[in-house]
Amino acid sequence: MSEWTDITNESELANGEIKLLEIADTRIAIINLDGEYFAIKDVCSHEGFPMLGCGLEPAKLIQGDELLCPRHGARFSIRNGEPLCPPAFEPIHTYEVRLHEGMVQIMAPKPDN
């Protein structure tokens, strides 16, 4: 089950910035690309390695609308999670994002009780 979840005020996530968070034991990255917001699971589909949460500067891992896995060089579309080159062949999960009353929200997994 999922629900709309407030992430941050729109003004607090400037162009090119990333916010990492964990919801229901899932690492999620929220990314502002030229005023469009995207939410992706921050785990490479190749070996389950964290990408943006690996400790490297995000600027080294995001090129245009592509996200690079620092472990083996797989690339993914930030827009839809699709793999763009080996060694990854499976997409990473993306989440629906919306702006609601000045808040960036994602359709996030609901925590288990």
Domains and CATH numbers, the chain: 2-109 (2.102.10.10)
Percent above pLDDT 90 for the chain: 74
Pure H helices in 62-102: none
What was the pLDDT predicted at 1? 64
112 pLDDT band, cuts 50/70/90, is: low
60 pLDDT band, cuts 50/70/90, is: confident
Residue bearing the bigger pLDDT, 38 or 113: 38
- pTM for the model stands at 0.89
Output the average pLDDT for the chain: 91
